[in-house]
Amino acid sequence: MSTAVAARSDFPALAAPGFVYLDNASTTQAPLAVIEAIAAFYRNGHANVGRGVYGLAERTTAAYEAARAQVARFLGLRHPSELVFTSGATDAINLVVEGWARRRVTAGSRVLTTVLEHHANLLPWQRLTRQHGARLETIDIDEEGRLDLDDAAAKLPGATVLAVTAISNVLGVRMPLPALAALAREHGVCMVVDAAQAVGHEPVDFAAIGCDFMALSAHKMLGPTGIGVLAARRERLLELEPVRVGGGMVREVAALGSDGPSRWREPPWGLEAGTPHIAGAIGMAAAAEYLAALGLPRIAAAEESLVRALLDGLRELEGIRVLGPGPGAARAGIVSFTFASHHPHDVAGLLGELGVAVRAGHHCAVPLMRHLGAPSTVRVSLGPYNDEGDVTALLAGLRHVTRVLA
């Protein structure tokens, strides 16, 4: 009997016998509930959101705003208006950088981050600080990748922004977000969280964390690609300038030839120019509903159990270096490792031939790879449909790989 939290039969992509999908940190598979919600949106007809006064347009707008409300509840927001739909976490972070930080980070400013970050939460800040003559500094981590809170407390005074991941997409390290947020508030520092690797795997409560901005992508939480959100405290959203302007987000358009400015709608609508990804928002809401029904605490507990089994099995294989902390509160459902004698791409390729899907490479975290002295790793990442049989198949596959490459 499967020990997975989610029924494998809910996921058409996992129907092939013997297929083991362990690349969930890259993207997750979608359940029928999500697929059917998107299909129903198109099957039943749709219009654009906004000003249409006929029935189909009103129903489409209502469905879009209902999706916003569903995702907002899922994330623990105080009100749906604190949620902006974006094309994903990358888009959301860039919106914060260009729409909020660009006017506040100046020469001599300091932006704090970590070496654990995905490029999506590093490159926009790197470019901004270089353009403005500001400094991008990192908070220290220990040998297993855990953040040094004392170093954070020492470096936060005088900083403008703290940009951190919730969970490292390489090491699976959980960040102490509430403690960091308390320090950031104490020193008046705006805190931006990349929650892409956490949402869908464990409870994420925006209000309880206490950050200013949070970015995430639907495709990493059983939803569709091309849709994500920026969650934010209301006062921060009101400070955001639109990065894209156009239809749907404008309240008043200045007369041609006049010196007067155009005026934007209140957020979140004033930050969503053009026709939004309506079907994507509906699919994301369906994914949130599906995950809530499964129970995020159950998913987190199941993934922790699988990580323990995986780490125990990896310790029995020769020549493997496992990166990151041991099982427990600091480790989420992501495990990266290297072989002393085999390239990660060769390992992943041979596993793929056996029907076991893992990721190999630098995982869009090149600075971390340099820090670890490992140009690339094999990465195993869990989802709610994985069970002990998947871990067993992976370990058997790794034993096969060592024999083939010997």
- Other Cβ atoms less than 10 A from the Cβ of 255: the count is 9
Contact between 334 and 379 (Cβ < 8 Å)? yes
Q: Retrieve residue 28's tokens.
A: 């997750």
**Residue 27 CA, distance from chain mean position:** 10
Is 190 known to be catalytic? no
Using DSSP's 3-state secondary structure scheme, residue 99 falls into helix
Contact between 222 and 29 (Cβ < 8 Å)? yes
Across the beta sheet with 320-323, the strand order is 320-323, 334-339, 377-381, 359-361
Contact between 134 and 102 (Cβ < 8 Å)? no
Q: Retrieve residue 14's tokens.
A: 């996992």
Given the residues 309, 364, 366, 374, select the one marked as catalytic.
364
Say whether the peptide bond before residue 268 is cis (omega within 30 degrees of 0).
Answer: yes
51: buried, middle or exposed (CB in 10 Å: 19+, 13-18, 0-12)?
exposed
Sign of the CA dihedral running 141, 210, 301, 299: negative
Phi and psi at 296, nearest 5°, equal -65, -40
Q: 87-98 burial string, b = 16+ CB within 10 Å, else e?
A: bbbbbbbbbbbb
Sign of the CA dihedral running 208, 385, 27, 324: positive
Q: How far apart are CA 166 and CA 28, in angstroms?
A: 18
What is the helix (H) or strand (E) element at residue 163, kind and residue range? strand 161-165
- Other Cβ atoms less than 10 A from the Cβ of 382: the count is 29
47: buried, middle or exposed (CB in 10 Å: 19+, 13-18, 0-12)?
middle
Q: How far apart are CA 221 and CA 31, in angstroms?
A: 10
Active site residues: 364
